[in-house]
Amino acid sequence: MTKRSDIIELQVDGMDCNNCAMSIQRYLERKGLEDVMVNFQTREVRYRRDDAALDAGAVKEGIRKLGYTVVEDSSDGAVAEAAGLTARQRLLICAGFTLPLLLNHFLMVAGVASPLDNGWVQLALAAPVYLVGGLHFGRSAWSGLRTGMLNMDVLIFLGATAAFVYSLIGLYWQNPQYYFFETAATIITLVLVGNWLEARAVERTTTSIGALTALKEERACVLMSSGTLVTLPVDEVRPGSRVRVNTGDRIPLDGILREGTLSVNEAMLTGESLPVEKRVGETLLGGSTVVAGQTTYEVTEAYRDGTLARIIELVKTAQRDKPELQRLADRISAIFVPVVIGISLLTFVVGWLTGYATATQALMNAIAVLLISCPCAMGLATPTAVMVGVGRLARTGMLIRGGSTVETLAGIRQMVFDKTGTLTTGELEIGSFTVVPEADSALVYRLVFELEGFSSHPIAHSVRNYLWKQEMAHPESDAYRAFAGDLTVEETPGRGLTAGDFYLGAVRGDGPEADVVLKRGDTVLAWFTLVDTVRPGAREVIRDLHEQNITTALLTGDRRAKAERVARAVGIDEVYAEQRPEQKLEQITRLSEQAPTAMVGDGINDAAALSRADLGISLGGASAAALDAAQVVLMRDELSVLVEGRRIAALTVRTIRESLFWAFSYNIVAIPLAALGYLNPMWAALFMAFSDVVVIGNAVRLKSR
């Protein structure tokens, strides 16, 4: 992942749809900037710092020339608001002038005379609407033309301008049959209504980003070397600093607990609903909340490199990424506006020349074609659904690298699991402990207990815990002293422990089927096996995956007997045991060729296999390495997140397909109806205004499905 210190973020107002975002993105990419991401939902423009290309000032000026407003802080926001009308103000002004015109239109249809029948009065009411709304859409249309990105505002501006200019010609001729001032005003007002509703709906798709951003604590209480407490902005706190937190405080930065204990709520970060108990030496995540306790902890990461910032970075990146489903929609959207303009011209020319319609009716049909068309619905179908889906996955405890990853996750047909640390907890226990009949078990137990006390190996603690419950000889007894003598213990990493003639370690050469053996010279005294505890809930997860018609497999370098025992315990379909790293790669490659395959591991071992799979899923426990490397990261070490995450991914893809189907179907049906004269421009504007809302509303449904 790119370091956040290299990322420049700008807040940009004036983006109404995905086409607006594409205009800005194309402009910045043409200027040589890299990693450009523009999100119209969050009003963010982000790019990687590159002094060789445009500097920050030139970027802002370029965006302003495209017709958008760069907001850098609250004061800039105030200036921007003062310099131009807000969306709500534009809507209220246009609606106030349009309603009398619309009412007069209905009275005219009913045959009732009105003072508003006068063309000059209609012009006086329509002109402010055209100036306010027309300038708004015209500026966006012009910026699209300058970047070669014809957006929907081009169609709106052309349609409203055609109706307004045609009405001016009728006013010059003093012919009321050519007055369509109410059509021009209604077109603009209805589209503004649609934009306003769309903006309100979009806000509901961005709540996950807002919720994560709200977790940032702006200030931290730092303990200085003098012993005094100083409150500093979090961006000024450096790794190694000591920060004080109390019950109810939000932990401002990542760190390590150095004293005391804390009960911490990490629900928004990891999806874990219950408070987590933290002890000395354990990691604290910035953005989590102290439920009980108080302490001073050591900061390990600056805010920009911390877990919360990285999570927000991943979610934003994922929400911008496009699945394969959107590629076709993007290609069609790129040529949609020119095609619609061509159809509109043909509608006018063919309708008029063939006598199908009068010149006036042919023009109205052509305007209706411009207005009924809605390329934005196709552009909105994917980003809105991905925005909601990725946010919901993040709240569940699953971070997705990109929108295309959501599609891959939904299509997975095989899931391969690593064993140690994935299906099992990684905490080893004694399976069986055998002492030869010729030896005294109490003396052997005591000897192994004492030897393991000199070991730094992770399993030593488990062995001592097991033996503590057994009947052992007293270490000061004459029998034990005669048996063991004076122990001078040496540990050889990866081999075992030696003390005089005694050896405790891995089986070398011919020996019993065991993990660890105790020998005196060449004589075997005892041996024992180690059992890795199956992770709680693993069996239920495998069962749920099978119900989703997903084949499961276990891929491990461990011995076959152990692998098969774990596979039987959880219900795994296939077992690939005693696999060397290169063999694991071969197995994953072969399985991926058969069907879309995901590899689930701990994010540290088997990195190559995780990368080779169609989808690598890491049980990273929010580790920085996992956040940087994995396509999918489970923020807590619970496999149940896999099942729920895949369900949400499938729903997200289904929602995208539904919205794209609606967008394509709407345009395929609506454009011919408008061309044939079955829809007047005002109805066309109304349908177009609400087509985007339908797509966004479908995405919002993802929150509760």
Backbone angles phi, psi at 232, to 5 degrees: -125, 150
Crossing angle of helices 87-109 and 119-129, in 10° steps, is 160
Crossing angle of helices 458-468 and 441-452, in 10° steps, is 150
Residue 418 among the catalytic residues? yes
Q: Give which of 396, 314, 367 is closest to 652, Cα–Cα.
A: 396
Q: CA–CA separation, 320 vs 417, rounded Å?
A: 29
Give the pairing of strands 69-71 and 7-13. antiparallel
Backbone angles phi, psi at 434, to 5 degrees: -115, 130
Q: Give which of 605, 534, 600 is closest to 564, Cα–Cα.
A: 534
Going by C-beta distance under 8 Å and a sequence separation of 6 or more, which residues neighbour residue 561?
513
Catalytic residue among 418, 532, 558, 602: 418
Q: CA–CA separation, 345 vs 156, rounded Å?
A: 15
Residue 407 tokens read as: 């599609």
Q: CA–CA separation, 344 vs 671, rounded Å?
A: 9
Cα separation values, 91 from 143, 352, 356, 695, Å:
22, 35, 37, 22
Residue type, position 575, single letter: V
3-class state of residue 253 by DSSP:
coil
How many H helices and E strands in the chain?
Answer: 25, 26
Contact 400, 390 (CB under 8 A): yes
Q: CA–CA separation, 686 vs 358, rounded Å?
A: 24
Q: Give which of 214, 218, 226, 238 is closest to 300, Cα–Cα.
A: 238
Contact 606, 626 (CB under 8 A): no
Residue type, position 136, single letter: H
3-class state of residue 270 by DSSP:
helix
Q: Strand locations in 40-115, DSSP E? A: 44-48, 69-71
Contact 649, 340 (CB under 8 A): no
Q: CA–CA separation, 47 vs 33, rounded Å?
A: 7
Active site residues: 418
